Amino acid sequence: MEFQEYIERLKTVFICEKYDAEIKKAKQEFIAHGGELGSEIDGYEEALDIFFDWYLFERPQLREGFTPLILLYRSNIISEEARKVYLDFTKYIHSIFIIKKNVSYIKVMDIFTKNKYLVTEAPSAIMERGDMVEARLLLFRGEYRFSGAFCFYPDSIYSIIKTEAAEASKAGAENFVPLIRKFRRLKTVWSRCSKMDINKIHTLMEEGRLA
């Protein structure tokens, strides 16, 4: 099986009618954490991809207490070869990356750790050098691949992200998920108030005066 087939297998098992109630609850949690999923918002498809990426790789199912990825890895419905693949998937790197090169391959740099990674079979057609994007890297047979969900940031937000990422790293932070959610939320709010200066929006959000 190829990389995308393993991704589709994970989706097929856990994004189906059997898990409708679980997905509904997950959407409520996602929105409570600052996400938006209304079909009327700008970037709805992007937001939906980010949601299901989080649902499959990070969110524990309520009854079992494990993520869909872990549940599939622990199940008896997959081969030993597939089990090894899904085990490698659990070592994912979820972060905000800066695209460094995109000619014959893509090199990315983690905005928080400054670690660099080569990504194979990346969608270079939608990525340019200097782009900043939230994504998840999965290890597949010794190489990194994108999971397929992306949140691209507009140039106007770059300086804010770089500054706060540097401050968090300097302070010794190890969990950057709250910051990632915060930046994604900033982008969403900015898309609704695009005539307002991004720094003003950021300040109002920091003061709790704009949600």
User: Could you give the CA distance from residue 106 to residue 197 in angstroms, rounded to a whole number?
Assistant: 32
Name the residue among 198, 210, 100 with its Cα closest to residue 154: 198
* Average confidence (pLDDT) over 122-151: 93
What pLDDT score was predicted for residue 40?
A: 53
Asked if the structure places residue 211 within a domain, the reply is: no
**Amino acid letter at 101?**
K
User: In this structure, are 127 and 74 located in the same domain?
Assistant: no
Domain count, the chain: 3
What pLDDT score was predicted for residue 211?
A: 63
pLDDT in tens, 139-171: 999 999 999 999 999 998 999 999 999 999 998
User: In this structure, are 198 and 187 located in the same domain?
Assistant: yes
Asked if the structure places residue 168 within a domain, the reply is: yes
User: Could you give the CA distance from residue 132 to residue 114 in angstroms, rounded to a whole number?
Assistant: 13
User: In this structure, are 165 and 126 located in the same domain?
Assistant: no
Residue 45: Cβ-neighbour burial (10 angstroms; 0-12, 13-18, 19+): exposed
Burial 110-120, CB ≥16 within 10 A → b, else e: bbbeeeebebe
| Angle at which helices 198-206 and 177-192 cross, to 10° | 130
Name the residue among 71, 32, 78 with its Cα closest to residue 51: 32
* Average confidence (pLDDT) over 84-88: 98
Contact assessment for residue 111 and residue 95, using Cβ atoms and an 8 Å cutoff:
yes
User: In this structure, are 49 and 69 located in the same domain?
Assistant: yes
User: In this structure, are 121 and 171 located in the same domain?
Assistant: no
Percent of the chain with pLDDT over 90: 65
User: In this structure, are 105 and 125 located in the same domain?
Assistant: yes
User: In this structure, are 31 and 76 located in the same domain?
Assistant: yes
Categorize the per-residue pLDDT at 194 as very low, low, confident or very high, splitting at 50, 70 and 90.
Answer: low
User: Could you give the CA distance from residue 130 to residue 191 in angstroms, rounded to a whole number?
Assistant: 21
Residue 186's domain comprises: 155-206
| Angle at which helices 198-206 and 155-170 cross, to 10° | 40
pLDDT in tens, 26-85: 999 998 887 777 655 567 888 899 999 999 999 999 888 999 999 999 999 999 999 999
User: In this structure, are 8 and 85 located in the same domain?
Assistant: yes
Collapsing DSSP to helix, strand or coil, 143 comes out as strand
Q: What is the CATH number of the domain that holds 115?
A: 2.40.50.140
**Alpha-carbon Rg of the chain, whole angstroms?**
18
Over 80: is that where the pLDDT of 206 sits? no
